[in-house]
């Protein structure tokens, strides 16, 4: 029913930390091959404009609707333009 242990028969405690499994190595980097069109394209000295995201396009649409509708609230137009520009830069 119950098992009794003497000092010599005691089970050993695990005192050593187990080593964590090795981390997988990162994937090899892909080599980028330039196409002839990319090689011929001149590089501009200035920074390229940031890409437009979905929220930027929506803000532009709201801004265009306000301007085309003849909105008299210039502060609202300025606020929407500020939010649009602050997200870009």
Q: Is residue 73 part of a domain?
A: yes
d(CA 88, CA 51): 8
> Please, are residues 63 and 84 in contact by the beta-carbon 8 Å criterion?
yes
Residue by residue, pLDDT tens for the chain (89 residues) are 667 767 777 666 666 677 777 888 888 887 766 655 555 555 555 555 567 788 888 989 999 998 998 888 889 989 988 998 887 76
At 5, give phi and psi (nearest 5°).
Answer: -120, 140
In a domain, 20, yes or no: no
Residue 19 lies in a domain: no
Give a yes or no: residue 67 inside a domain.
yes
**Parent domain of 65:** 50-89
39 occurs within a structural domain: no
The DSSP string of 16-71 is: SPPPPPPPPPPPPPPPPPPPHHHHHSPPPSSPPPPPP-HHHHHHHHHHHHHHHTT-
Whether residue 70 is contained in a domain is answered as yes
Residue 61, in any domain of the structure: yes
d(CA 56, CA 86): 10
Q: Is the entire prediction scored with pTM above 0.75?
A: no
Q: Which residues are CB-contacts of 81 (< 8 A; sequence separation ≥ 6)?
A: 63
Tally the domains of the chain. Answer: 1
In a domain, 24, yes or no: no
């Amino acid at each position: 029913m119950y098992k009794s242990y003497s000092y010599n028969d005691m089970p050993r405690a695990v005192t050593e930390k187990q080593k964590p499994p090795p981390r997988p190595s990162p994937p090899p980097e892909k080599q980028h091959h330039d196409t002839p069109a990319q090689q011929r394209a001149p590089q501009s000295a200035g920074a390229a404009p940031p890409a437009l995201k979905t929220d930027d396009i929506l803000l532009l649409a709201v801004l265009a609707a306000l301007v085309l509708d003849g909105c008299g609230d210039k502060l609202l137009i300025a606020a929407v333009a500020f939010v649009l520009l602050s997200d870009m830069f």
